[in-house]
Structure 1
Amino acid sequence: MQQSNYLFFTTTCEQALDFYTQCGLGKVVELIRHGTDGIPLRNEAMRGKIMHAKFEGPGVLFYASDNDDAEPMRGSAHILMTDSREQTDQLFERLSQGANVTTPLGVQPWGDYFGKLTDQFGVQWMFNCSL
């Protein structure tokens, strides 16, 4: 058994996955689009949008898609457990482009280097590095 997150976007899944690739988190390894290859299409506006994608990188695995009935993201966050402050700083800086930083990176009362943000696509990310 393995638990993974599934992110639902309305129409920005492809842009989000491209952004996460540029940030160095990994890449799309599986992709199916609405209305192609015999996939049914309920809404013409969704044609060509991502119906299902698998995103993988070192220590990263999640799924994502566009859904015209998707609800805004809330109540869940990806947590990246990083190996060094340098790696944490780099990823935080990259993902913070257009983001709302809710907890700036810093040493927290529990002793770890931690920060939190909501990216430009509404996905929450937490970064934790044990010192």
Structure 2
Amino acid sequence: MYLANYLFFTTNCEPALAFYTKCGLGTVVAILRWGENGMPAHTEAMLGKIMHAQFEGPGVRFFASDNDDAEPMRGSAMIFQLEDHEQTKSLFIQLSDGGQITTPLAVQPWGDYFGKLTDRFGVQWMFNCTSKVSFVTKPDA
């Protein structure tokens, strides 16, 4: 058994998945569309929208779809558990493009490099990097 997340969008699932691909998270490995292969669309506007998609990359797997009755994303976040400081920073910067940083990346009281953001599609992302960041300080002259 494994637990995976399912992201619901109203009508912008496809651009969201394209954005996540551009950020280097992975790619869409399976897709079904409303109105194709016997999948009836609830409304004309949903025709061709994503009924179900599977997204995968190294260490990443989630599912997503367009649903005209989807509730806004809230009370949940995707969390990256990382060990590379530069990878954490790079991914954070990419996913924050057009979104809102809610907790800037910084070393937190528990000692990890952590930050949080909501991307341009309303998905919350958390980043926790367990590699300890060392800061070199110069003695006063």
TM range (shorter): over 0.9
Does the alignment pair 1:54 with 2:49?
Answer: no
Deviation of 1:37 (Å): 1.4
Task: Give the aligned length.
Answer: 131
Report the counterpart of residue 104 of structure 1 in structure 2: 104
Q: Which runs of 4+ in 1 moved over 3 A?
A: none
| Structure with bigger gyration radius | 2
1:42-121 correspondence to structure 2 within 5 Å: 42-121=42-121
Report the counterpart of residue 38 of structure 1 in structure 2: 38
Structure 1: distance between partners of 2:81 and 2:88: 9
TM, length-normalised to structure 1: 0.98
Structure 2: distance between partners of 1:8 and 1:36: 19
Report the counterpart of residue 2 of structure 2 in structure 1: 2
One-letter amino acid of the counterpart of residue 53, structure 2? A
One-letter amino acid of the counterpart of residue 88, structure 1? T
Deviation of 1:42 (Å): 1.8
Report the counterpart of residue 19 of structure 2 in structure 1: 19
Which blocks of at least 5 consecutive residues in structure 2 are unaligned?
133-141
> Does the residue aligned with 2:92 lie in a helix, a strand or coil?
helix
